[in-house]
Structure 1
Amino acid sequence: MLWKAFDVLDTFSRQHRVLTLSELARTSGLPKSTVHRVLAMLRELGAVEQVDGGFRMGLRMLTMAASSPEAGLREVAVPHLLELHRTVGHTVHLCALRGEDVVYLEKLHESDAQVIPTSVGMRLPAHCTGVGKALLAHRAADTDATAHTPSLRRLTPRSITEPRALALALAQVRQRGMAVDRDEAVHGLSCIARPVLIGGHAVAAVSIGFPSSAGRGEAWLGRLGRTVGSLSAALRERPDLMEYLFQSRA
């Protein structure tokens, strides 16, 4: 029943915040009778609420998510991200690595900026993004971070799909201390990224996303470096977070 409950909860998204019983059954692939029983249990627990038009995620889920180490990381990071965003005027991301995916923990952007199709909680193949490559390059105890990645998904024609090419790109990241994504995740969009390092280990990464037509982003590298440096210093003063963030690293 626990697996079925998560199948139902995974159906909700930023684009589908309220769903009917039929929509939940169709999208989750579960029988409507099963979804009905699961919803009754989730409503009793406060994980789901019934509203006009269907069901939505309950506030208890937000309370639980706020207890995660990543929520603490975001809380520490936001002031530094805001200052970076005010300085560069482009989209700023904070991300963490989970397996071969990068997970977006925060996104700051202008309302009238070119739309970058990312959102908090979203996952993308790490090798296709600047933040992902910044994190993969510093994956702990992996001299070859691509050894267990026999196939690499392609998101655009410029995505890296060969392990040897990725290994070379990650070596360049370690040498330069920064990563670049140019049209590799989304056509027409680029980003520069740096890892947030604690004792040589990356617990997160910060990126600046911008239209590829705006150049290569070299003018912002120094400011990005100062941001991740100040964030690293702030995190070192939070040993309560550090223990769990190190445990969470892929």
Structure 2
Amino acid sequence: MIEHQRSAAEAPPAIPTSVLWKAFDVLDAFSRQHRVLTLSELARTSGLPKSTVHRVLAMLRELGAVEQVDGGFRMGLRMLTMAASSPEAGLREVAVPHLLELHRTVGHTVHLCALRGDDVVYLEKLHESDAQGIPTAVGMRLPAHCTGVGKALLAHRPADADAAVQAPLLRRLTPRSITEPRTLALELAQVRQRGMAIDRDEAVPGLSCIARPVLVGSRAVAAVSIGFPSSEGRGEEWLGQLGRTISSLSAALRKRPDLMEYLFRSQA
């Protein structure tokens, strides 16, 4: 009992929750378009007072989460090291060889995505260097119901967890986005029946994709899609290759029960 009291007394003081929120507000200000930001830009983007941002930056710099460079501040390499430890990074490592083969075969953009809440998060994107018009990026989040990969994943989520279908109104990205929950429920039933999902101009005008879920057992741990200009058809000619990619990737993941355990936990 005495040892327990001593260890509790010697423990460092907890960081106030408000400081953690402010630290993430600052980190969220960085993006692919704004990799280096000044103190003023960080304050403006985060909505925090400049004095608060200054104090938070000092803490983040000490932790290695942010680095000071010419022209301002940038995300620190420690953040990359931490992200590489996530189960999704392990999923990506297993998936990339299969995605590369698919990309070489179809010649169009290939995505690997995971579901978080009612959004899809892009874990990988393979595309030609001169590819235009598909404004996705690794780390980007989009409403799942507007994307092929998202619908492929929503269709295999437990009904009691499917808040998207129960929402009063769904977010619209284009005039063709599904906004009625009843319409989405019917669409997801068709996805389960077909084993694949389609997005035609629902996330970005003029762009389509076909997608299939990556199933391990009965659970979808990710989804893979092929994105292409809508003017090039409906993508039926690639369904076979996409199916073979999904089958080989699912088989590879079944050999990694350690990784699957963590991925299943992250979905709980």
- TM-score between the two structures when normalised by the length of structure 2: 0.91
Farther-moved stretch of structure 1 (21-30 vs 133-142): 133-142
Task: Compute the RMSD of aligned alpha carbons.
Answer: 1.2
Aligned pairs (5 A) from 1:83-232: 83-142=101-160, 146-232=164-250
- Structure 1's unaligned 5+ residue stretches are none
Matched, 1:77 2:82: no
State the shift of 1:143 in Å: 8.9
- Structure 2's unaligned 5+ residue stretches are 1-18
Alpha carbons of structure 1 residues 127 and 147: separation in structure 2 relative to 1, 3 Å: closer
Alpha carbons of structure 1 residues 90 and 30: separation in structure 2 relative to 1, 3 Å: same
State the shift of 1:191 in Å: 0.1
Please point out which of 1, 13, 16 is paired with 2:34. Answer: 16
Residue by residue over 1:143-184, the C-alpha shift from the partner in whole angstroms, topping out at 9 and shown as x without a partner, is 966443222000000000001100010000000000000000
CA distance in 2, matches of 1:80, 1:145: 32
CA distance in 1, matches of 2:223, 2:20: 32
State the shift of 1:112 in Å: 1.4
Percent of paired sites with the same residue = 89
What secondary structure is seen at the aligned counterpart in 2 of 1:37?
A: helix
State the shift of 1:142 in Å: 4.2
Please point out which of 24, 31, 39 is paired with 1:6. Answer: 24
Where is the helix percentage greater, Structure 1 or Structure 2?
A: 2
Please point out which of 38, 48, 53 is paired with 2:66. Answer: 48
Q: Is the 8 A contact 1:95 1:106 kept in 2?
A: yes
What secondary structure is seen at the aligned counterpart in 2 of 1:170?
A: helix
State the shift of 1:141 in Å: 4.9
Whose radius of gyration is greater, 1 or 2? 2
Residue by residue over 1:196-243, the C-alpha shift from the partner in whole angstroms, topping out at 9 and shown as x without a partner, is 001111000000000000100000001000101100000010111100
Q: 2:251 is matched by which residue type in structure 1?
A: A
CA distance in 2, matches of 1:120, 1:144: 24
Q: 1:4 is matched by which residue type in structure 2?
A: K
- TM-score between the two structures when normalised by the length of structure 1: 0.98
CA distance in 2, matches of 1:239, 1:219: 33
Matched, 1:36 2:54: yes
Alpha carbons of structure 1 residues 215 and 147: separation in structure 2 relative to 1, 3 Å: closer
Q: 2:155 is matched by which residue type in structure 1?
A: A
CA distance in 2, matches of 1:207, 1:122: 15
What secondary structure is seen at the aligned counterpart in 2 of 1:113?
A: coil
State the shift of 1:140 in Å: 2.8
Q: Is the 8 A contact 1:94 1:207 kept in 2?
A: yes
Alpha carbons of structure 1 residues 228 and 180: separation in structure 2 relative to 1, 3 Å: same
CA distance in 1, matches of 2:165, 2:118: 12
Q: Is the 8 A contact 2:92 2:123 kept in 1?
A: yes
Q: 1:227 is matched by which residue type in structure 2?
A: T
